[in-house]
Amino acid sequence: MTDETVNRGAGGAIQSAAKSLSQLAAKILEQLSISAWLPSAALALLTLFVMELGAVLDGSSSDLEGRQPSLDPGVAIPLALRAMGNTSLGGLVLLVMAVVVLTMLTQAFAFESIRLLEGYWGVSRPLEWLADARAERWRKHHKHLAKRHARFTKAAWKRAKRQIAAREDFTREMIAVLQVQILGSRSAAGSELSNRQESRLELTDEEQSRVDELDWRLLAPGELLRRRVNLELKLDDFPVHRNIMPTRLGNVLRRYEDETRRQTVESLVDQVFDSLPPSLRSSHDEQRGRLDLYCTMYLVLMLAGVIAVLRFIPVHWGYSVAAVGITALSVWTVYRAAVASARYYGSLLVTIANYDDRHGAATDEAQP
């Protein structure tokens, strides 16, 4: 056997091994979505930054080059970032390995992070008491919003009613019926008609059609309608009163879960996912991935904040206070993003449930 043959065989073996390794890496990347990679990478980089910044403040960083440590953020932070950029090849390998391990953990607990932020905190008495107290607070808030919405609706209708009453094609009976439709019960509407007139309140088909076609909001002041719409958007984030959850995210998701008329939406998606149109499947995966990402990032930022506080608090308490403030702002922003994603994801769940109902009905009709 010649040396050329041996080298050719060795080269083929190396190429085959490299190809197998690439395929393995590709399979791993397919299994680990971006919603899992980003939180783990963020946690690893934030932890590294905190440690490098702490080393700069303590004067133990190699990037100080003999200079005295400075507590000035304008000096310390650039030095910490430069130290991160000067990480050795071995350090980068360790960082990548840490990201891979953290990715597996964050992906495994992505669903639990959503449940935690929804308000499912366990069955122990203290946690149950806290959940009940939070849910009761949201019930009171919902009731307060509903009262404000009714007040603005009544004020807007009062202004619009004056213009409607001036029209010759609208009788008092028609206005009374429209008022009941807008404000609810006749007692709430405060109709000016007598009880005897109300008991015999009937409209012809033409009059009823005219009442139904009138958009009274076009005659109401824009400022009152704007405030009324803002309250409607807030109220849309709540489920029925008895199902109100301890958190805002939980209320948004529960509202859409109730609308699907399914006890468990997870089983719904698993059962019908393969039969969904490709566009709907893609939208579901995208929005669920975003929800997983934001909920996981919430916990990651909280953990990074705790690490920063513990690292700085013994000596550099000013940086600890700054870490608390930055963490609070970050988790607030991420939580709002999670709530926004939950609205879109919830609407997709309702669409999937409606599709399943129509598909099931069509299947039943097709069967002999």
Question: Digits of tens for pLDDT over the chain (368 positions)?
Answer: 555 544 554 455 455 555 565 655 555 555 556 667 889 999 999 999 999 898 888 876 655 555 556 678 888 888 888 888 888 888 888 888 888 888 888 888 888 999 999 999 988 999 999 999 999 999 999 999 999 999 999 999 999 999 999 988 888 889 989 998 898 755 444 555 444 444 456 788 888 999 999 999 999 999 999 999 999 999 999 999 999 999 999 999 999 999 988 877 778 888 888 888 999 999 998 899 999 999 999 999 999 999 999 999 888 888 999 999 999 999 999 999 999 999 999 999 999 999 888 876 555 455 55
Task: Please give the pLDDT value at position 186.
Answer: 53
Contact yes or no for 289/281 (Cβ under 8 A): no
Measured at the CA of 293, the angle between CA 241 and CA 283, to 5 degrees, comes to: 80
Task: Please give the pLDDT value at position 62.
Answer: 58
- Tokens matching residue 274: 């393969």
Task: Please give the pLDDT value at position 237.
Answer: 95
Q: Which of 110, 106, 33, 94 is nearest to 304 (CA)?
A: 106
Contact yes or no for 293/35 (Cβ under 8 A): yes
Task: Please give the pLDDT value at position 303.
Answer: 95
Separation CA 71–CA 265 (nearest Å): 52
Please state, as a whole number, how many other Cβ atoms lie within 10 Å of the Cβ of residue 318.
Answer: 11
Task: Please give the pLDDT value at position 135.
Answer: 96
